[in-house]
Amino acid sequence: MELDVNKIQEILPHRFPFLLVDKIISLENDKVVGVKNVTMNEWFFQGHFPGKPVMPGVLILESMAQVGATMMMNMEEFRGCIPYFTSLNGVKFRRPVIPGDQLVMEVTLLKVRRGIGKLKGVARVNETIVAEGEIGFSLIKEEAED
């Protein structure tokens, strides 16, 4: 199953400037592949770094987490939840991501129980791994407002 940015926004609560996934190209019950097209127009390049733009590593991780959250929150039991990081393990950054790169992120569900779980994420540019690691998460149901 493929999802465009409009469908992604129906699933995720993230919005500009913090929606960091442009498309889901494959969505299964335990694996998802998403894309972030990195352009020079990204807000973070103004200060990271002037004259030598590099996508911050934490935003690469956030992109992977959003891809994973799209998979999780597409499941009936987790619809309407808010996704939170709980841990990051074994994270490695292999090479910088720069304007013009297409970040392709494959995220696999390792485990989930009662909305708490772990994902394994691998981000690639042109088939080369640029970042990888395990992402711990918690999916919290929104409280009804009075």
Annotated catalytic residues are: 48
CB contact at 8 A, 132 and 121: yes
Residue closest to 63 by CA, chosen among 49, 78, 80, 44: 44
Using CA atoms, how far apart are residues 61 and 15, in angstroms rounded to an integer? 17
- Cβ neighbourhood burial of 144 (10 Å; 0-12, 13-18, 19+): exposed
Tally helices (H) and strands (E) across the chain: 2, 6
DSSP calls for 46-65: GTS-TTS----HHHHHHHHH
